[in-house]
Each structure stands twice: as structure tokens, then as C-alpha cells.
A and B are shown apart, each in its own frame.
Chain A
Amino acid sequence: MSDFDSQEALLTALSETILHHDDEKMEHLLNAVVKEGVSPEKIKQKLIIGLESAKSRIMTNHLSMAEFLVCLDTAIHGLENVALSGSRENETQKNNRIVIGVVKGDPHDLGKTIIESVYRAYGYTIFDMGSNVSVEKFLKGIEQHQATILAISAMMSTSTVNVEPIIHEAKKRFPHIAAIVGGAYMNEKLATSYGADAYSENALTVIENTETIMNNGR
């Protein structure tokens, strides 16, 4: 802690490493906070604050999508390093098991990757089906991982229509499942018409949208 006046200053510096996507400094500071005996929960809280800061900057056009992606990388790296992500699965997180994928006919997985990283950073348990995913593969994923949320991305106008049969079949076989969708050609009205429970415009709103579904008892 020699470089810092207080434990709080050390934790703030740790938080800021996300915004500067500085993995090396993060590892160094993580070692320092662990030595200081800071609880894993407190560390997690600080990392999330760093992520929130990145999120608010992209919302106000102070951070590009490319930078947000590397900030997420650093956040995930930090969370994994302190064994917080996924390993401390509590009751709430068990209820938030998410199967995520890009629809059939669509190879664009950047949006899905970013959303997946955001979910992981916020402590959700994620099962990635990849891109160009068939209805059958989505259904198998939901069953196998006992998912409660189905997150679908469609980035092409030609593939957006493929969202509907996935939601239709998923809800038929797993009535408890809540579906959240997003993509370049998607919007709220279209998402609703496909039977989705929520539409998320981007990575910045996905946590709030997901929490809304969960709070609505889906």
C-alpha cells in the first residue's frame, strides 16, 4: 500500500485500471488488496464500479465500442483472478443461468461476445452456444444447462426473422424461459412481435433489461 494513502485509494486505483484497460497494473493492485485482507465482495464491488464507469462513458460518447471491449476484458480478467466470477454461485445466480447465442445464418458474434462479457462481469452464469446456432441447438442448451434466460443476438437483416422460431419453440418446451433479444436490425416492437420478454438495445442496457424480466417474475 506504500504508493497509496489509504485502502480506499488503493481500491479506487484498482477500479480505474478497468477504464485504462491496464491488465498488468490490475494484477499488481489485486495482489496488494488481497495482502491488505480486503474481502472478495468488496473487491468485486470496486471492479463493478470500474465497469459502470466505462459504461457511463460509452453512453456519453466518451468511450468507443473498441475501448469498451478491452475494458470488459480487463474487468473479466480481474474478476476471474479473484475467483469471483461464477465460482461463488449463490441462489440468485442459480436463478440467472443464461444461454446465449447468435441465430442461424449469422456469423457476427462481436455483439454477443460483448453482452456475454457484461453478463459475466455482473456475475451471471453464461452458457455460450456460439454463432450461427440452430433452433435445436438453442433448445438443447436450455435443457442441458437448466437455463432460465435465453439471450439471442441477430445482427443481419436476413437473420433477424430467425429469432421468432427459437423463442416460439423455447417457450413451448420450457414455459419458464424468459427471452431477451438484441441486434442491429432489432427494436422493441419487433422483439415483442417475435414473443421476446425484453429487447436490449446494447451492452449498456442489457443488465437493467435482464433484471427487469427477473423482477417481473419471468
Chain B
Amino acid sequence: MSTVKENLSILKVIKPLLKREMPPPGFIPDSILNGVATFSSARGKISHLSNLERLITTLCHKEPDHVPSSSFVMSAARHLVNASFPEFALKPAITADILYTVFEQIGGELIIPLIDLSVEAADFGQKIIYPENSTPFPDYSEPLIKDVSDYRKIKRIDFRNAIRMQSIVEVCRILVKKVGLRGIVTGWCFCPLEILNMMRGAKNFFRDCINYPQEVKAGCEIVTDVLMEFVDAQLDVGVPVISFDTLFASWNGVRKSLWEELEGTFVNDLSNLVHKRGALVAIHNCGNGIYFDSLIRFMAPEIISYAHLPDDCSNNKELKNRYGDQVVLMGNLDTAFLSYMTPMEIMDECKKLINDLADGGGFILAPGCEYPPNLPLDNARAIIKAAQLHG
């Protein structure tokens, strides 16, 4: 029986490889992955690795030739193809074009389609404002959840008609085909608390989490039901990693025990789905005092992208010692630095991060959050260059 299962898994690996696409890493036997990583790590000491070799080596917690990196540039690159903010948000062919151009012109090994925070909320019916010169955001004068009783009334939408989520799937599909085996395209999904927050407004939502947790959970259940289809659809088009944004699992959100009660079950379902399909779970959280321990317990992620230190660590070295063997750490260049530092200064900051986090592999250099959308891209290039030079 196990041989049949193994053969099926091998088929799931071979089929994407024949199309020159990255197979689900979870279906690649550990012995092969570790063998590739060990060999690449050794080869990396004398020659350059390919992007994929570098990522696999890193994911297996071995040292590559240099650390992989992501500039986390999203809409900031819209000028490269003369697109506007609304086009970046709403037209999947243009979005994919922008992200692919970033991959080609700026570099990095990961391609992450973080479009904006309003994608899922928009499909649930939240009115969104699409400014010409800024990122889309919910119209908080007309929240979809007006009253605490509205959580249970959220409509369980038909995913086939979820225009914006479908457009993310399309972006993933285009990128997976174009990037092939030259890098890894991750999917993206906001977790239910953040989506409800977009439909309620933060002030009231925070209060509801504390005063009406059962109502909030009822909302989470409806939203998660649709998110399962969203994640499934992204996996269907071949992304080998899904990134989940879990902002509320930090002191910027709700208390750890409350987060576990409100969102724990739901993120567990989402990450189980990803793992069951052989893909990897990445977490992105740009809050202060992230609950690494809870996130690892509920989601068993392979990667955590962070902006600030977790609640149980006081510096990056401590973080590396405590969690470095459990997850690949991705981050955590201060995005504010990108606004005013020169490329040389950015490279120095990156070097500090590499010194603290790169030993033994398992580190991806990146800003703690999205590259600020209205900045020039010089500092994005500096991040990638720093990885190549100092990593």
C-alpha cells in the first residue's frame, strides 16, 4: 500500500518537472531533498548555485552559496510597466507582468503576490476605494459588518464568482508558468481575523474580539470556508508555497490565548490543507511580539517572514537560537530604513542581519514587510546585492 502511495507522490513530483515547474516539495522524498541540499551546500562553496538550488538548500537548513533574498517589491514596481495602482490591483495580467519584471530586473529567488489587504474582503462585499496614487483600502465609512450581529450574516460567497481572489489565482498561474524552475512563486492568503478587520474597521473589531469572541469566531468560520477554496485554487495552478498573513497573532492584535481561541482552529485547517497537498506553509506577520510558538503549534510553518521580534526573544541571535532549527526565518529589514537610507547604508543593515541570522542556513533576507509603494527601487536592488555580496 505504501508503495502505491509513494508512486503516486512521485508522479506528483514528476508531472510538474516535465512542465519545468516546481513540484510540491512535500512530495519529494526527504532523502532526495536532503541529498540535493547537501550536495548544493558543498558545491556552493566553490561555485554559484541556481536560484532553486539555493532555496532548497536554505529550506533544508543548510548553507547555500549566499542567502536567498526577496525585495518584497509589489506595486512600487508599477512604473516599470507604466501601470497604475488600480491596474496593479485589478488586472491580473498586469500584476503578473509587474511581479515578473521585478523578478527579472531586480532579482531575488521568491515571487510573492501580496497585492493589497483588501482582496478577500472585496469579494465578501466590502466596498473598496481604489486611489490612483495609493494602495486600495476599505471604505470604512461603509463597513460591511456594521454591528456585532453581522458576523453571522456574512454571505458565504461562491468562490467561482470571487473576482479578486480569482485574479490572484490567475496571477499565480501566469507566474508559475513564466518563472518555471528559476525561482519559487508563493501563493498568498490573508487569515480570517484580518479579513474581518477589513470589513468591520479596526477600532470596533478589536473591541468585538474581546467582548464578543463567539460572534467573531462565527465570522471566521464563514470566511475560512471560502479561503479553503482560495488556497486550493492557488495550489491547483502549481504554487509550491502558500504565504498566510497572520497579523493578529502578535501584540498588535489580540492576546495569545485569545488568538488561539479565535483563529487557531481555522489557520490549522488552512495549513493542514497546504501540507496535505505537498506544499509548504509560509507565515508573514509584521506585528510586534509575534507569537512564534503558537504559530508553529497551530500551523507547523516551514517559513516565517517577520518585521519585529517574537514575544519571547529580545534579539535576532536569540531568535535564531530558539527557532532557527524549526523554521526558515525571512526578514527583517526595517521598511522605514528604505525611505531615507542610501543603498550603501541599506547594504550595511543587510550585512548585520546576515551576520545574525545566516549561519547554518535557514535564512532569507527581505524587508519586514512590503517595499513602500511610492519609493524608487534603488534600495530594493541594494537588498538583493547585499545578499549576493555578504550572504
Q: Which residues of A contact B (CB under 8 A)?
A: 21, 58, 61, 63-67, 69-70, 73, 105, 107-110, 113, 131, 156-161, 185-187, 189-190, 193
- A66–B206 contact, CB under 8 A? yes
B340 interface contact, C-beta 8 A: yes
Starting from the known contacts A61-B311, A157-B374, A159-B134, 9 additional A-B residue pairs (CB-CB under 8 Å) come to A61-B251, A66-B209, A70-B210, A105-B131, A156-B137, A157-B339, A157-B370, A158-B374, A189-B340
Question: How many whole Å from B253's CB to the nearest CB in chain A?
Answer: 6
Decide: B203 and A69 in contact? CB cutoff 8 A: yes
Say which residue of B137, B254, B255, B339 sits within 8 Å of A160 (CB atoms): B339
> Chain B contact residues: over half helix, strand or loop, or mixed?
loop
Residue numbers in B under 8 Å from A131 (CB-CB):
140
Asked if B135 CB lies within 8 Å of chain A CBs, one says: yes
- In whole angstroms, how far apart are the Cα atoms of A61 and B250 in the complex? 10
Q: Which A residues are CB-close (under 8 A) to B340?
A: 189-190, 193
Residues of A within 8 A of B252 (CB): 64-65
A161/B133 in contact, CB under 8 A: no
Task: Decide: B140 and A64 in contact? CB cutoff 8 A.
Answer: no
In the complex the two chains form, is B210's CB within 8 Å of A67's CB?
yes
Contacts of B203 in A (CB 8 A): 69, 109-110, 113
Interface size on B, residues (CB 8 A): 34
| Set B135, B334, B375: member contacting A156, Cβ < 8 A | B135
Output the least CB separation between A135 and chain B (Å).
16
Interface centre among A63, A66, A73, A189 (most CB of B within 10 A): A66
Interface check B202, CB cutoff 8 A: yes
Beta-carbon contact of B374 and A21 below 8 Å: no
Nearest 5 A/B pairs, CB to CB: A157-B372, A66-B206, A110-B202, A158-B134, A187-B336
Contact between chains at A185 and B374 (CB < 8 Å): no
Which one of A58, A108, A158, A185 has the highest number of Cβ atoms from chain B below 10 Å of its Cβ?
Answer: A158
Q: Can you list 28 residue pairs at the A/B interface with Cβ under 8 Å? A: A21-B210, A61-B251, A61-B289, A64-B254, A64-B255, A64-B258, A65-B251, A65-B254, A66-B209, A66-B255, A67-B210, A67-B254, A70-B207, A70-B211, A73-B207, A105-B134, A107-B139, A110-B203, A131-B140, A156-B137, A157-B335, A158-B372, A159-B134, A160-B339, A160-B372, A161-B374, A185-B335, A185-B336
Nearest Cβ on chain B to A109's Cβ, whole angstroms: 7
A107 in complex: contacting residue of B140, B206, B334, B374, CB < 8 Å: B140
Contact among B209, B251, B254 with A58 in the assembled complex (CB-CB below 8 Å) = B251
B373 interface residue (CB < 8 Å to A)? yes
CA separation between A66 and B252, bound complex, in Å? Answer: 7
Alpha-carbon distance A148/B372, docked complex (angstroms): 32
Which of the listed residues B211, B289, B311, B339 has the most CB atoms from chain A within 10 Å of its own CB?
Answer: B339
Given known contacts A158-B133, A158-B372, A185 and B210 CB-to-CB distance under 8 angstroms: no
